[in-house]
């Protein structure tokens, strides 16, 4: 038995070596293609990224939050920030729809938050502290999650800085207004906490992409009682996205100066987003979500967006991650165009 195993070893090694060399030749192909200035006629979004080293805005900043300790679904969202950054390379700094080239712009990357904490609450406090410092330097921040619990400390930090009412749009399959039961803060509780602690008001809160058979009656009643505007995927299909967005913008800007977008990738149909904590069918398309972002950033003073719940462990062919990167790029293009 032992001898046989010894004889098999070289063969196994060869096989492994073949796999490695095949992989590295694929990577060599990518490396060349990824080189800055490889084709002088095009600019990649990845060429716009720059490590933040003390600069002040106005500018766009990226912040990674590799945190999934509060996730209610499948764990793994802490791998999200890295995968979204990796997927940015697929996109070019040219917006066809607007015939707008933005290859001369910069996106400052603040890196990932490193946690040294014993509880979800401590991590959240750390997030609030950091986001407050970044917005104080006049950055519009795109945060890469991480589970959806991080929206609470992020919006709280934004509110502490701006000190004015914030209009909040949550693009999500779920309402995420769960009660905190037995002190358990989760990826299902961020908006309830924001409403209860008066960080946001119900009338300035819109939820888009809510799914059938994915929410509790009690939470629907709660959100409606708070005065939130809710549009399900079916309502978006029947009424049309343009009409839904008109109402959305009217409601969130009626009494606010600032808008914040929270984007849970499970708002996407499962076919476009296998890599999320809680996959759900019959959802939105990437085109619809890109349209929402374009409209909101173009027509409101959008101070930030979070992209949450990417779970690379369950992703196939980086489908979800590349969609997440598309939404990041759409936000940047719309922001640059507006300020050009």
Q: Which stretch binds Mn ion (CB under 5 A): 74-82, 154-162, 264-272, 332-340?
A: 264-272
Minimal distance in Å, beta carbon 148 to Mn ion? 4
Should residue 264 be labelled a site residue for Mn ion when binding is judged by CB under 5 A? yes
The DSSP output letter for 211 is P
211 lines the binding site for Mn ion (CB under 5 A) = no
Q: State the minimum distance, in angstroms, from the CB of residue 168 to Mn ion.
A: 13
Looking at the Cβ atoms of 166 and 268, the one nearer to Mn ion is 268
Q: Which stretch binds Mn ion (CB under 5 A): 45-53, 60-68, 256-264, 282-290?
A: 256-264
Q: How many CA atoms lie within 13 A of 180 on its CB side?
A: 18
CA 156 to CA 254: how far, in whole Å? 21
Least distance from Mn ion to the Cβ atom of residue 284, Å? 13
Range list of H helices, the chain: 2-34, 45-48, 80-87, 120-136, 151-162, 190-196, 217-225, 233-239, 241-253, 286-299, 319-338
Q: Whole-angstrom Cα distance, residue 125 to residue 105? A: 32
Q: Is the peptide bond before 108 cis (omega within 30 degrees of 0)?
A: no
Applying CB under 5 A, the span of 191-199, 228-236, 263-271, 324-332 interacting with Mn ion comes to 263-271
176 sits near Mn ion (criterion: CB under 5 A): yes
Binding flag, residue 68, Mn ion (CB under 5 A): no
Residue with smaller CB distance to Mn ion, 45 or 200:
200
Could you give the dihedral angle defined by the CA atoms of residues 27, 30, 35 and 37, in that order, rounded to the nearest 10 degrees?
160
Judged by CB under 5 A, the number of residues near Mn ion is 4
Nearer to Mn ion, 110 or 219 (CB): 219
Name the minimum Å distance from CB 172 to Mn ion.
Answer: 4
Q: Closer CB to Mn ion, residue 172 or residue 315?
A: 172
Beta carbon of residue 190, minimum distance to Mn ion (angstroms, whole number): 7
Judging by DSSP bridges, how do beta strands 94-95 and 100-101 pair with one another? antiparallel
CB of 191 to Mn ion, least distance (A): 9
- Could you tell me the smallest distance in angstroms from the CB atom of residue 174 to Mn ion? 5
Q: By C-beta, is 157 or 190 nearer to Mn ion?
A: 190
Cα-flanking dihedrals φ and ψ of residue 238, to 5°? -75, -45
Is the CB of residue 70 less than 8 Å from the CB of residue 58? no
Nearer residue to Mn ion within complex by CB, 263 or 325: 263
Place of tokens 């990518």: 30
Residue partners of 162: CB distance under 8 A and separation at least 6: 135, 257, 258, 303
Near Mn ion by CB under 5 A: residue from 172, 207, 269, 315: 172
Q: How far is the CB of 122 from Mn ion (least distance, A)?
A: 22
d(CA 302, CA 257): 9
Choose which of 83, 148, 156, 159 interacts with Mn ion (CB under 5 A).
Answer: 148
Alpha carbon 220 to its chain centroid, in Å, reads 24
Which residues make beta-bridge pairs with 95?
Answer: 100
Which CB, 60 or 73, lies closer to Mn ion?
73
The helix (H) or strand (E) run that includes residue 63 is: strand 59-65
Q: Residue 173: which H helix or E strand, with range?
A: none
* Contact map string, positions 108 to 147, toward Mn ion, x by CB under 5 A: ----------------------------------------
Q: Decide whether 60 or 65 has the Cβ nearer to Mn ion.
A: 65
Binding site for Mn ion (CB under 5 A): 148, 172, 176, 264
């Amino acid at each position: 038995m032992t001898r046989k195993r010894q004889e098999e070893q070289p063969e196994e090694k060869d096989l492994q070596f073949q796999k490695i060399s095949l992989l590295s030749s694929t990577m060599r192909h990518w490396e060349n293609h990824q080189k800055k200035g490889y084709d002088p006629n095009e600019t990649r979004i990845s060429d716009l990224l720059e490590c933040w080293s003390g600069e002040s805005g106005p500018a766009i900043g990226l912040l990674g939050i590799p945190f999934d300790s509060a996730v209610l679904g499948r764990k793994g969202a802490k791998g999200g920030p890295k995968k979204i950054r990796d997927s940015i390379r697929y996109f070019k700094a040219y917006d066809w729809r607007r015939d707008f080239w933005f290859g001369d712009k910069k996106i400052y990357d603040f890196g990932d938050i490193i946690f040294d904490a014993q509880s979800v609450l401590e991590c959240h406090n750390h997030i609030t502290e950091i986001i407050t410092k970044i917005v104080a330097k006049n950055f519009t921040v795109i945060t890469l999650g991480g589970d959806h619990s991080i929206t609470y400390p992020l919006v709280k930090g934004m509110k502490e800085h701006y000190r004015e009412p914030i209009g909040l749009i949550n693009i999500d399959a779920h309402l995420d207004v769960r009660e905190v039961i037995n002190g358990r803060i989760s990826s299902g509780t961020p908006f309830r906490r924001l409403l209860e602690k008066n960080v946001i008001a119900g009338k300035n809160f819109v939820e888009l992409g809510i799914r059938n058979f994915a929410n509790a009656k009690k939470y629907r009643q709660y959100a409606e009682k708070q005065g939130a505007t809710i549009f399900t995927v079916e309502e978006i299909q029947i009424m049309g996205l343009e009409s839904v967005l008109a109402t959305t913008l009217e409601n969130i800007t009626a009494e606010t100066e600032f808008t914040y977008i929270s984007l849970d990738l499970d708002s996407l149909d499962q076919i476009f987003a296998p890599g999320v904590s809680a996959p759900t069918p019959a959802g939105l398309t990437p085109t619809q979500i890109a349209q929402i972002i374009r409209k909101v950033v173009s027509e409101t003073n959008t101070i930030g967006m979070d992209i949450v719940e990417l779970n690379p462990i369950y992703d196939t062919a980086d489908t979800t991650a590349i969609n997440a990167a598309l939404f990041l790029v759409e936000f940047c293009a719309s922001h640059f165009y507006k300020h050009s």
